[in-house]
Structure 1
Amino acid sequence: MRIDRTRWVTTGVAAVATVVLTACSGGGTATNPEPEGPVTIEVWGWNAETGRQIAEAFNAAQGEVKVTYVLQASNTATQTNFQNAFAAGSGVPCLVQGFGPLTTMVVNGWAQDITKAVKPSESLYSKGALAAAQVNGSYYGVPSGSDGQFLIYNTATFKKAGLEVPTTWEEFVETGKALKKQGVDIANLAGEDPSTLMNLAQQAGAEWFAIDGDRWVVNFLDEGTLKAARIMQELADNDLVSNQTYQDKPALYTYFDSGNMASTTTQWWSLGGYQTNMKKSAGDWAATAIPQFEGAAQPVTPGRTQPAFVPVGCENPEAVMTYVDWLASKEGIEAGRNKETGAVGFPTQIPDPSAYVADVVPDGFFADEAQAAKVIVDAQAHVIGKFELGPDYDAWFPELQDQWGKAVAGEQTFEEALRAVQKFVAADLDGKGISYTLGS
């Protein structure tokens, strides 16, 4: 189906090349003389711990670019303040922490194409970080690390059951059946959180949204997605998982800590919470690579992110990349070390973050901390980074949550849930005048 793409043209990619704001921080006009001193750019984000500290260290380290870090109250506040500034055409920064999917920034005409500024720096970043920053082959975001998924499992639970840890999703289901005979769930699927389905679909090569010329291609029913849905269906039909909600964290951690759940997929930033709240099973956990699908050509790790972007109208994307590149340097990473806790953020955007992984492996949680560190680094090396979320993510994601919840509850199949979401997306794009076709 093809319809008038007026909204796409006027507020999407075409607008990125034509809209110019006169008051973007650090900007000037082509007719003005070159300013003396460093180029000043304003950066917006909600990093209350180290955002300003990092900017100050950058300013002290060089004299070409000066960063003013404007702390925002939250993700939501950043979005609101940015939209207000953009609509007013004044006070727009030159770099904004990503508060939504990158395609949303492009379709709304907020993010500019910074390909020329990013290209010279590509070697500084991992493949996943570069992929995450692109829309339709062009850079509309700055290279940004995606947090690679891996599997943690309770070694005591597996030892008691006399089972090996599965390495494929197909084995995962069969292992779950064996564990169920002993009253143990192999994992947890919360009824409000479809991220596991999204992760497996991404890992299986799904492409829910793609750009084909002047239209979107929408396909929630491609081979990769249905492969992921079949795994979910077997887990649910055979009652191999629990459905503990993430909305009650104390109860969730108590369940994870009980030994009645054998494994969970996770990412590095969740480990501190496990260490703090899972005292009973501390030392029993091990990390391993996330299971692959049988027949996979090479190991891949699901992972997505919301890259920071350079708004339309900022005339200094090269200055922005000077700052972003410095953040990926040893000096820049060290500048982000929290002065109170001594912790440093795991630099998932660089090709080899192994020098920093010890900072994110919690003491006493893993049976083998060195092995856990290796798994975390390997997950980053294989992270996909890119999973297109289309022009109306804010509309369809709540629908996916609703349909996912019904599937988890056994009210419909996961394939039926995906069909319902695709139908919803089609109707939503029709209503918004966005051109698309449905994949087959």
Structure 2
Amino acid sequence: MTGASASRPTGSSARRRRGRRRACSASSPPRRPPPHPPPKRRRPHPPTSPRKPLSTPGSRPVWHPEITKKEQEMSATKRWLAGSVAAIAAVGLAGCSAGDGGGGTADEPTVVEFWGWNQGQDLMVDAFNEANETVQLTYTQFPSQADLLTGLSNAVTAGTDVPCLVQAPGSPVSLLSKGLIQPITEQFAGNEDAFIETAVTSQSANDEILGVPFSGGPGFAMINKAVYDANGLEAPTTWDELIETGKTLKDQGVSVLNFAGEDPSTLVSFSNQAGATWFEIDGDSWVVDIDSPETQKAADVLQQFIDNDLITHETFADIPAMSQTYDAGKMVTIPLTTWNLAAWQERLSTSLGSWQTIDLPQFADADEFVVPGSFGGYSVPEGCESVDAAVDAAVFLATDPTTVGIAASPSEGAGNYPAIPDAGEYVDGLLPPTLLGDTVGETPAVIERAANAARVQWIDSPSATYFDELVSQWAKAVNKEITLREAVTHMQDYVVSDLEAQGIDVTER
């Protein structure tokens, strides 16, 4: 979703494009070069003409909480470890204190700069600005989550050009620990019932609200029903059943899962579903618990798919080849979430109409139905001048029927499942017209069950090199060079050693 690039203005030109911003009591620091290569920017204005729908996102390789390599801010981490969630908010890196500049007028609206990367957010900003007079949004679109994280880190560190609202580029606890965002508990109060409980939980820690939830990524699965039916097979309800299905189909050259060597999110999601929590914060210490019984259980199940050769190894670097394998009926089970549906509609051809969504298979010993999931949130960066206005704008974007509809649309938006109760009216818009054939009517119930059962609090690693190492270990395991148990044990030792080398207090469980 890279829009057309335009140079970011500086000096008085930049201030004019932002509108008249209410001034802080402290003098502003000298303006510096922009914190990121020039992204797409939009001025606040109501839409003046119909827009051609944007194309559906090309590909998203993961169906569960995204794992992204992040730049670590050591001083911010120390501030977190020295106190509580509120300690970060008390140590402002720049700008005014929380709540300053919250009230504008129609003649002099408060201007809130919003950064994001999802398709359709420009249209959502237009809708917000048309409906609101006292607060106006400007919008900067970044090419990706990683690019926004870099831009946000640079802006907060420099103490200039800090936006007041961002699509959170990572888990809120991790962003807070780096000093990049601030709690919004007071400003968000009273809005809890506007969102489903799991969504609010995903944006909370230590009784503090860290973000406004707006989209869900509940996990479910999709099977090639034509292949299943032709072999007299039922849809699997457990991973053990899927393993047995794989053994039945193996002689026909059919696989039941795809393990891309560059995508360790499969291990992360299975671990999440099994109940693992790899990273937590306890007092003044980071808790590292990668090599836990829950992760070992997940690893043991995944190892059976590897050892029995029940998987394909299609890479997301070659989507056409992957699609051909799926179209040919050679890979018949896809774990995914809502935003993947439109992408698979575009990728597949001859198998369109053969697929059916099902509840995500469970571990055989599961006491309750649970799926890995994630909820995206809007966060208020440290140094924001207008926290009240930013939170009000975020709640509007996440709950207003027009903006929710845009975000949920696979053509105009990103195909996001809304974080609000009774989201059923938006689910039909998420469903591709031909992918699921006659079974399309079953999908809303599958998605709703997943959204209400999602295990959403997954904290990113504070180790800057963790992701690359995880990719390496996953690739070795998929290629049978090591076992997943060995990979998990290695990751535990690796992250602990890395954090200790940086002088960060670590607790192992």
Give yes or no for TM over 0.5: yes
In structure 2, distance between residues paired with 1:175 and 1:335: 39
In structure 2, distance between residues paired with 1:95 and 1:162: 52
On the 8 A contact 2:338/2:415 being kept in 1, the answer is no
Deviation at 1:17, TM superposition (A): 2.5
In structure 2, distance between residues paired with 1:354 and 1:104: 31
The CA deviation string for residues 84-119 of structure 1, in whole angstroms up to 9 with x for no partner, is 322221221111122233333112111111122223
Which residue is 1:17 aligned to?
Answer: 89
Q: How does 1:3-402 map to 2 (within 5 A)?
A: 8-10=77-79, 13=85, 16-23=88-95, 28=100, 37-47=108-118, 49-305=119-375, 307-327=377-397, 328-334=399-405, 341=411, 345-367=415-437, 368-392=439-463, 394-402=464-472
Pair 1:35–1:79, CA change in 2 (3 A) = same
Amino acid at match of 2:370: V
The CA deviation string for residues 302-358 of structure 1, in whole angstroms up to 9 with x for no partner, is 1125533211122433322211221212133245587x9566743431123211111
Pair 1:110–1:342, CA change in 2 (3 A) = closer
On the 8 A contact 2:79/2:88 being kept in 1, the answer is no
Deviation at 1:27, TM superposition (A): 7.1
In structure 1, distance between residues paired with 2:412 and 2:138: 24
In structure 2, distance between residues paired with 1:45 and 1:217: 30
Deviation at 1:209, TM superposition (A): 1.0
Percent identity between matched residues is 36
Deviation at 1:297, TM superposition (A): 2.4
Amino acid at match of 1:80: T
In structure 1, distance between residues paired with 2:408 and 2:212: 21
Pair 1:433–1:254, CA change in 2 (3 A) = same
Deviation at 1:148, TM superposition (A): 0.9
Amino acid at match of 1:377: E
Deviation at 1:23, TM superposition (A): 3.9
In structure 2, distance between residues paired with 1:355 and 1:316: 33
Q: What is the TM-score with the length of structure 1 in the denominator?
A: 0.90
Pair 1:234–1:45, CA change in 2 (3 A) = same
In structure 2, distance between residues paired with 1:334 and 1:237: 44
Amino acid at match of 1:378: R
Which residues of structure 1 form unaligned runs of 5+?
Answer: none
Amino acid at match of 2:113: E
Secondary structure of the equivalent of 1:308?
Answer: strand
In structure 2, distance between residues paired with 1:112 and 1:161: 54
In structure 2, distance between residues paired with 1:310 and 1:325: 12
In structure 1, distance between residues paired with 2:249 and 2:300: 20
Secondary structure of the equivalent of 2:378?
Answer: coil
On the 8 A contact 1:25/1:94 being kept in 2, the answer is no
On the 8 A contact 1:145/1:385 being kept in 2, the answer is no
Secondary structure of the equivalent of 1:152?
Answer: strand
Deviation at 1:10, TM superposition (A): 3.1
Amino acid at match of 2:266: T
Pair 1:344–1:88, CA change in 2 (3 A) = closer
Amino acid at match of 2:440: E
On the 8 A contact 1:25/1:91 being kept in 2, the answer is no
In structure 1, distance between residues paired with 2:396 and 2:76: 37
Pair 1:64–1:370, CA change in 2 (3 A) = same
On the 8 A contact 1:21/1:314 being kept in 2, the answer is no
On the 8 A contact 2:405/2:426 being kept in 1, the answer is no
Secondary structure of the equivalent of 2:115?
Answer: strand
In structure 2, distance between residues paired with 1:74 and 1:237: 36
In structure 2, distance between residues paired with 1:170 and 1:405: 23
